[in-house]
Structure 1
């Protein structure tokens, strides 16, 4: 085949290829943006659910959310390192925050094999709290890492 024997230009096919290429590019860009934007959403959702239970005052259910074990009362010895009594001291009305009435998530960042979520409790912006959600077990714990929240 030579240049003079080239196939005839098909305008309909060219528009189809162009439109499909643009659509594929848009889908890849939107998918990438959504992945970036919602990457930490599962951890944020877990923390929000946990805090809603704590705010309601149901500490037994809160401890179940913390450990991701709804049947924790059947085997409390499994949680001897951080037991229910210590949990109530940290999250109950006598905690350093008092009765927890509200929370606001400030940020979330993947760190190692977990996600660190920074939040403000009862509007106390001077002392943000950082919790960590393990990516594999989905359990919640206090984070050894504190994120910079800005001035």
Structure 2
């Protein structure tokens, strides 16, 4: 009996050691992955900042070039309108459905907003509704008795 107790203690010790090694291995791997991701994120942020400054310098150059032939305020206004249009186009390109105005945006007082289709894709909170109920026919057969959609006239309708 003592011999089995000793082996049980060794098994428990071995399992504890294996669990500790596995935890350390996973921890080291996660540290390495987060270090790589942090470096990548910092490079993207630096790239974005440099692009922002480049865009500002380009906008300034366009404004100054326009100011040669126009009043300063008109050159600034034209530059702002061009940048706004570029921002709008880029925003529309970033959306999955293209650049459709949302309900209430961009529509006049008398205009009606188009009916939006239910969202689809991996982030859909619910499945799309079918256009017709399952088992229902779109047009009744000639001479058939009217039935409710989704019911089978052959089945008995008993209530418990």
TM-score w.r.t. structure 2 length?
A: 0.30
Larger Rg: 2
RCO comparison, higher one (Cα < 8 Å, 6+): 1
Q: Write 1 or 2 for the structure with the bigger share of helix.
A: 2
Q: Write 1 or 2 for the structure with the bigger share of strand.
A: 1
TM-score w.r.t. structure 1 length?
A: 0.31
